[in-house]
Structure 1
Amino acid sequence: MSEMDQLLDDLRVVYEKMSWLNGDKMKQALKGYSASEVHWLEFIENTPDVNVTKLSEHFFMTRGAMSKATKKLIAKGAIYSVKKESNKKEIYFELTEEGKRIYNLHEKLHQEFKERDKDIYEMLSPEILKEVSDFLQMYDEHLSQLIEKEQLKLQ
């Protein structure tokens, strides 16, 4: 196995272990919401002027699929739509109190998991963290470009 194959396999194994360790607690705390819905709420909370287009681009979904998803979140009482004075045409989304409750629970769980794992994080030097982060950002950009090419083929 090449070093790159080993690295990719290691990333997959770590991700699967994190999912196993965190999954049940997340599901119980965020009952009634899928992982995707929670991440959509997180994006809405942390991004200014979120509309269907921004959501669909960020999550690599069609606008139609994202529109259905936002309607579902509205029906759950987690978000509401709003039009701005400056742009009456465009519909934006914001979290309701329920959406903020889910968002805050999710953030609290992430902090709890980081605290649980802090011993391993503290073993890494800032230089190593920077190198790993740089690699992941480059890989992310590469994958984003590939996704964009594939999406253009579908149009």
Structure 2
Amino acid sequence: MTVLQDLNDFLNDYNKVSDSSTHREAQFLAKRIKEEKLPQDAIDGINILALHVLQAIGNKQPIRAVELTEQMEITKGATFKITARLIRKNLVSKEHKPDNKKDVYYQLTDLGTRIFKIHDDLHKQERADLKKLLDKFSEQQIKDATDVLNEINLYRKG
């Protein structure tokens, strides 16, 4: 087998693992929602992108719809659709400033703040686990791997 074939196999496996890590994330959230006695349907119908929109809102609230769209690198239509779903789930609220009726601002509700904190805990745990994993490698090895993966990413983006 060639190095190129090994890399291709790795990328295929990586994509599969990425899909399953989304499942792992959902399992973590469901478990914590149950432990904290939050409504079990709090995140039903909420996909990973919507969770990351919730995270972006929680990191900078209130946030203007335009800023959210730019930060998430999604369309205005996608922002509207996702935030509408989050509003229906009582995770996010929207408002207009009294002096600016044009811009829409989003912020987390109490329930949204609790989900945000659970999701943030998950990412903190993942970062700690990743750091522990990477401690096996030298700084140069990590840099080289990062350089290769960045090049592949650029290629795949087109």
Q: Which residue of 2 aligns with 1:39?
A: 52
Residue 137 (structure 2) pairs with residue 111 (structure 1):
no
Displacement of 1:92: 1.6
Q: Which residue of 1 aligns with 2:37?
A: none
Stretch moving more, 18-27 or 35-44 = 18-27
Stretch moving more, 64-73 or 21-30 = 21-30
Contact 2:55 2:116 in 1 (8 A): yes
Displacement of 1:20: 5.3
Q: Counterparts of 2:103 and 2:121 in 1: how far apart (Å)?
A: 32
Q: Which residue of 1 aligns with 2:27?
A: 24
- CA change 1:42–1:21 in 2 (3 A) is closer
Q: Secondary structure at the match of 2:101?
A: strand
Q: Deviations over 1:29-72 (max 9, x none)?
A: 35532223211111112346634344445555442343122122
Displacement of 1:19: 4.2
Q: Counterparts of 1:18 and 1:54 in 2: how far apart (Å)?
A: 28
Contact 2:65 2:103 in 1 (8 A): no
User: What is the count of residue pairs matched by the alignment?
Assistant: 145
Stretch moving more, 100-109 or 79-88 = 79-88
Q: Deviations over 1:82-122 (max 9, x none)?
A: 33466431112111222111111011123334445554221
Q: Counterparts of 2:87 and 2:55 in 1: how far apart (Å)?
A: 15
- For structure 2, the residue ranges without an aligned partner over 5 or more in a row are 34-39
Displacement of 1:132: 3.4
Q: Which residue of 1 aligns with 2:8?
A: 5
- For structure 1, the residue ranges without an aligned partner over 5 or more in a row are 147-155
Q: Counterparts of 2:151 and 2:96 in 1: how far apart (Å)?
A: 36
- CA change 1:78–1:92 in 2 (3 A) is same
Contact 1:22 1:113 in 2 (8 A): no
Contact 2:91 2:109 in 1 (8 A): yes
TM-score where L is the length of structure 2: 0.66
TM-score where L is the length of structure 1: 0.67
Q: RMSD over aligned Cα, in angstroms?
A: 3.3
Q: Secondary structure at the match of 2:116?
A: helix
Q: Counterparts of 1:13 and 1:69 in 2: how far apart (Å)?
A: 25
Q: Counterparts of 1:61 and 1:70 in 2: how far apart (Å)?
A: 12
